[in-house]
Every structure is written in C-alpha cells, then in structure tokens.
Amino acid sequence: TETIFVKVANKENPDCIATTSFKIAVLALPVVTATANLKQCDDDIDGFSIFNLEEAISKITTNASNETIAFFKTIADAQNNTNSISNTTTYTNTVVSNDVVYVRVSNANTCFRIARLNLIVSTTQIPSSFSKSFTQCDDVVSGTNTDGLATFDFSGVTNQIQAIFPLGQLLDITYYKNLNDALAEKNTIANISNYSNIGYPNSQKIYVRVDSRVNNDCLGLGGYITLNVEPIPIVKSLIETQCDDNQDGLFAFDTSTIESRILNGLTNVSLSYLDQNNNPLSSPLPNPFVTASQTIKVKVTNNTASACSYDTTIAFVVDRLPHVFPIPTSLTTFCDDEIDPVLQDGKYPFDTTAFQDNILGNQTGMIVKYYDANGNTLASPLPNPFLSATQDVKVEVINPVNQNCTATTIISFKVNSVPSIQLTGDELVCSDLPTFTKIINAGLIDETQKANYTYTWTLDGNIIVGANQYDLTVNKKGIYKVETTNNNGCSRTRTITVNASDKATVKVDIVDLSEENSITILATGAGDYVFSLDNEFGEYQDNNVFQNVPSGIHTVYVKDLNGCGIVPKEIAVLGIPKFFTPNQDGSNDTWNLKGVNAVFNAKTTIQIFDRYGKLLKEINPMGEGWDGTYVGQQMPATDYWYSIRLEDGRFFKGHFALKR
C-alpha cells in the first residue's frame, strides 16, 4: 500500500490551496493455470459426454478452498459473473468431441482471473468386446430370496482391465452403479468383492471407469460388467395326509400329481428327494409311494449353470384310523315288557353304561359322536338310561388329529313287542271227579295269531312235559303258568289259578217233635254250595237252614255251584199228630208217628192208651196207624195217650185227640 498526497491551488490566486491524501493498494490476483484440459470418455461414441467440471478445479488452482470458483459458457459471462453453469457435475459438452468453458476464480479480495477449460471427449481405450457377466442366486442377505438381490464379487475384473493397458501405466479403475455416477465420478462402489445390487433387482450393469493417475484423464468408461440375479426356484412344501386304511401304520400314497403340485407351473428345473434318513429316493417318486409317516426332503434345482436350488419338504402323514367295536346285541335288543301293558309304549330304557368303552376298546383321545335315525346329534356319551324306541343310531369315531379319519358303526336299538295276552285267569275242577276236565289257554287277545307263538306250561313252578300248545286240558288244581313267546323271543306269562271244587259231604241237624221243626244242613267240601228241600230241580237257597219243616221223610239237596254235582240226602223229621179224624174222608183217618220209614226209626214202638191207662193199641210206625177202634168198636171222641220209644233210644209220652 502507499499514501498519495494531493495539493489543489487556485490558478487565479495561487495562495488559495487545499490538500488531501489517499491510499492505494495493489491486491493480488488468484494464481491460476490459464488453460487446462478436462478429458471425458465417450460412453456411446457420439462425441458427447457428461463432465464433472469440478474435477478440473485442481488443474486450475491450488488454493480452491480459499477461492470462489464458477463455470461459464462464454468469456463475457465469466467477466460479468452472470449465467454461471449450475450443473457443474453433470455438464454435457455442446460441441462434438470438444468444447470450451470458462472458469472464474475469485479470491477473498474479489479479485478474479478467468481460465480456459478445454473439454475433450475421447474414445474409451477399453475394447467394446470386453464384457464380463456374473450370475448369483437370489439370496436372503438383503432381505428375502425373492427380491432379485444377491451378493457379487467382481473384484477380479480389475486385473483384467489393467491388462488391457500398457504395463506399468498408473491407472485408477473405479466402479459405479450407473452411468451418471461414472461420468461424475461420484458414489464409487467401495466393496467390489461383496457387492449387493440393492436398487437394481434381478439385473444390473456396473460401469467401469479408468482414469490416468497422472493427469486424471479418462481412459475408459462403459458398462462392461453385467450382474444377473437368478431366481430361486421357490416352491411350497406339501403335506399329504391320509388315514391308515388297515391299521398297519402304512399308506400307499398316490404321487401322480405331487410333482406338478410342488412346481405349480415352474419349468426348467430338476427335483431330487431324500427320505427322513437322507437316503435318496427316485425322481419322480414311486407311485404308489408306500410309507409310514415321514417328512422327505425335496431339492428343486434350476437347469442352469448356476444351478440355483431351493429346499422344501413333503410331509407324508399316515393318521391313525380309529377302530370301532360293535355293541353286543344283548345290550341293544330288549322286549317291551313292562308289567303294566299301559306302559308298553314301544320304548325301553337302555343301559348305556358300557357303550362308549365297548365302542373304543383301548383307544384313547378319540371323539365319539352319535346320530339318531333322523341324523340329529345325540349326547356323547349317550344318556344313561337311553330311552328309545326301535331305531338305528349311527356312531362315528373320529381321530381329532385328522378328523377325516373316521370309523362308523350302527347301533341297532330294538324294542320288540311282547305277546298281547290276558295276564291272569282262573278256573275250577272237580277233585272228586277225575274225568271232569277244563280247558285253559294262553289268553291271546287275538286268538287268530296263536300259531305264531310258542308255549311253555308249568304247574306250581314245575314244567309240564309235553305241554306246548295254546290250550291245556286240566283236572287238577294249582297255579298254572303259560309263557307265550313270539318270534323275537319276547314273552309274556299268564297265570291261571285253578281251584278244586267237589260235591259236598252232607250232614243234617234236625230239630223235630217241636212246635217249629227245622233242619240245618252242614255241607263240607271244596265247593260253593246252595241248598234245596225236596225239589232237586227247583230253586236253591244260600241259607243252609230250613224253618217250619213239616214232619215226615224229606230229601235235602246240596248243589255245588261250580258244577261238581248235587248231593241228595234223605232225612226224617219226626212229628206226633195232635189229633186225627177217623171219618173215612181220606184225610187224617189214622194216627201214627210221622217221619219214620224203613231207614229211620223203623223199630220204634208205639203204644196207645185211653185216659184210664188202658192199652188200646200197639201200632207199627211203618204201618197205617191207629184207626180209632178198639176190638172193632169205634172209640169215642176224646183224648188218648201215647208212649213212643224210638229206635235211637229217645222216649216220648203225650196225648192226642180223636175227633169225630
């Protein structure tokens, strides 16, 4: 810097003056290279390329960090600092093969210089035939094995490119994801031995840039590397589930569609199989494939040089087929045998206590379902008791692991009707008449059906041998039972009480020689007796006493109401007449003791006296009696006395009147 003093004088009056001073400073200009060249490789031999103009800064100035640098298309714009180039890292030359831009370099003193930058588009020195391709299988390193991404190592390309150039030439060989980055020399791929094509799925070109390490000139540029991600032949696993069809633990699987179902349209692949012990299996699998439950390994491999593959499995599952054991018919077939016929409604309370255990045997963990004849679900286990009419109940035993594995059976509940009979009966026989018989029967309500049953007869609990017909002829009392059985083996038993009856044993008590003679008939026996006096075929009475019985010979009749006969018995009712009238009119013409015959008191003696005790007549009770005469002469009407000594020892005295 320097101070400059200034004196100003008035020409007309030199004494009039003024003075001042000012400083002048000479500021340094930036130090620049007046002309620089920036070479870029042509990526498509059209003479145009993208330049990163900022790469030339180091060629123009060494103090860029303290300077402001701008690029302009014309010198005038650079002088005026107007219309600067904004896309300095992606600038495309406007003149084929070469172009010029101007670089304004300003320092902190705002002093600037303008340098010329020649843009030269040169042809790459890497032959167009140079091409490298890398193929890797899609992997899961960057996410999934279906994202088209893989990890590549293309570091070996560096030596191959180096070999294109003269030995010992100092080169910078860099790799880029895209052309723009390569031209701008930005975002260099750092790890070329472990590169993932993120952002460029399935396929990516890698751009190679070769620069001179001496002057940074571009010597080669192009997408010489192709990265291919081969899709993994991804398939789904299969589960083949079948029920063991014969409880041997094996099943013959149909494998005819397994391969097509695994591949699901995938082509140009090969399959290989290993069993659960890693033993190889044929490909395709045998058909049928007989196996127990096992999971086999499947490898699906592309028919390519890379042979990308995918491992999956096929699970062959042989699920247990349940057994179902039948219920004995002895537990499901019963007769509708309520004692009261009103309650015989065609239903029976079946005891199902052991049903579930019988059905399952020693199986555990199974599901058991029951369905009635209409397909409605029943409780499981069945209710106990299970009140049911005749019906078929379906039983389904299900493996809960695979509910397609089922076994079914039918429980046939049968409620058989019993014969419709009269349950009781009674009859009578005459025990004193062996030839007197009665016919009893099984008591069917509809006797037209009697040929459809069988019959078994017992008497007092003992089987009557040979008695197997509907009717039975009996002549002996006792408790007869007949079991009537139908074709279903259902039976009802009728009980017939046969009582014995017989003719009576008769004894008669007689009250005679009295004002009111009476007789009392004492009948003993098993029958039911009624009584008649002197009239076998007349009316009988239940009362065994007859009053006011006239003296004489009578016959009492005792009849068994059960039909076992009539027993007659002749009796003598003694009577002494109180008078007689011997007037020859045919009525009471003689006097004699009544009730005597050859059977009763035939040896009775009778003497007749007058009032003075004179024996007038001794008469035979079997004779006609005294006619009222003595020695041929009629005796006067008056009272006379008698003396009677009966044959049975009784003795009577009294008097009677003779009336004329």
pLDDT score recorded for residue 163:
92
In contact, 293 and 277? CB cutoff 8 Å: no
Give Cα 361 to chain centroid, integer Å. Answer: 18
Provide mean pLDDT across the span 292-301: 97
Question: pLDDT class for 133, splitting at 50, 70, 90?
Answer: very high
Beta strands in 438-580 (DSSP E): 438-441, 454-459, 462-463, 471-474, 478-485, 491-501, 505-511, 518-524, 529-533, 545-547, 552-560, 565-573, 579-580
User: 144, 149, 74: which is closest to 104 by C-alpha?
Assistant: 74
C-alpha distances out from residue 247 to 243, 318, 402, 405, 458, Å:
9, 10, 15, 11, 54
- pLDDT confidence bin for 212, thresholds 50/70/90: confident
Q: Which residues contact 8 (CB under 8 A, 6 or more apart)?
A: 17, 18, 19, 20
Q: What is the pLDDT of residue 183?
A: 86
- Taking alpha carbons only, the member of 496, 530, 525 closest to residue 432 is 525
pLDDT one-digit tens code per residue, 385-413? 999 999 999 999 999 999 999 999 999 99
Q: Would you say residue 431 has pLDDT above 90? A: no
Q: Is the pLDDT of residue 123 over 90?
A: no
Give residue-wise pLDDT tens across range 455-511: 999 999 999 999 999 999 998 899 999 999 999 999 999 999 998 888 899 999 999
Q: Please enumerate in sequence order all residues whose Cβ is within 8 A of that of 415, keeping only pairs 6 or more positions apart, or say none.
A: 334, 335, 336, 346, 347, 348, 388, 389, 390
351-385 residue pLDDT tens: 999 999 999 999 999 999 999 999 999 999 999 99
Confidence (pLDDT) at 314:
97
Spatial distance between the Cα atoms of 470 and 496, rounded to a whole number of angstroms: 13
Cβ atoms of 575 and 510 within 8 Å: the answer is no
Phi, psi dihedrals of residue 539, rounded to the nearest 5°: -80, 145
pLDDT reported for residue 290: 96
Amino acid 78: pLDDT: 96
**620 phi, psi to nearest 5 deg:** -90, 125
pLDDT value of residue 125:
84
**pLDDT band at residue 517 under the 50/70/90 scheme:** very high
Q: Please, which pLDDT band fits residue 245 given cuts at 50, 70 and 90?
A: confident
pLDDT surpassing 90 at residue 142: no
Asked if the bond preceding 288 is cis, omega within 30° of 0, the reply is: yes
pLDDT above 90 as % of the chain: 75
What is the value of pTM for the model shown? Answer: 0.54
Whether the per-residue pLDDT at 237 is higher than 80: the answer is yes
Please compute, for residue 379, the number of CA atoms within 13 A of its CA located in the half-sphere on the CB side.
8
pLDDT at 572: 92
Q: Is the model's pLDDT at 261 over the cut of 80?
A: yes
Query: What's the length of the chain?
Result: 660
The per-residue pLDDT of the chain, averaged, comes to 92
- Indicate if the alpha-carbon torsion angle 542, 543, 544, 546 is positive or negative: negative
Q: pLDDT per residue over 84-119, tens digit each?
A: 999 999 999 998 888 999 999 999 989 999 999 999
Q: How far is CA 129 from the centre of its chain?
A: 75
Query: Which tokens in the block code for residue 657?
Result: 């009147």
